[in-house]
Amino acid sequence: MNVNIALTLDGLVRALRRKAHELADEAELHRPESRDADRAKEERNDRSQR
């Protein structure tokens, strides 16, 4: 395998791996709240409306 091709392939793999990590981090930051958190939020809203 040509050295230039190997370096290019290595760069591509690194870039794809970095992008995959960025997407996973972004998804983790913006995931919906759990049902327990939703229930607690509804209870707070109910109490504040009384």
Q: What is the largest CA-CA distance in the chain?
A: 74
d(CA 49, CA 43): 10
> Is this prediction's pTM over 0.85?
no
pLDDT tens, 20-32? 999 999 998 887 6
- In this prediction, residue 34 carries a pLDDT of 61
Q: Decide if pLDDT at 1 tops 80.
A: no
Residue ranges covered by each domain of the chain: 3-49
Q: Which two tokens stand for residue 13?
A: 């793999």
pLDDT above 70 covers what percent of the chain? 84
Q: In this predicted model, which residue has the larger pLDDT, 13 or 39?
A: 13
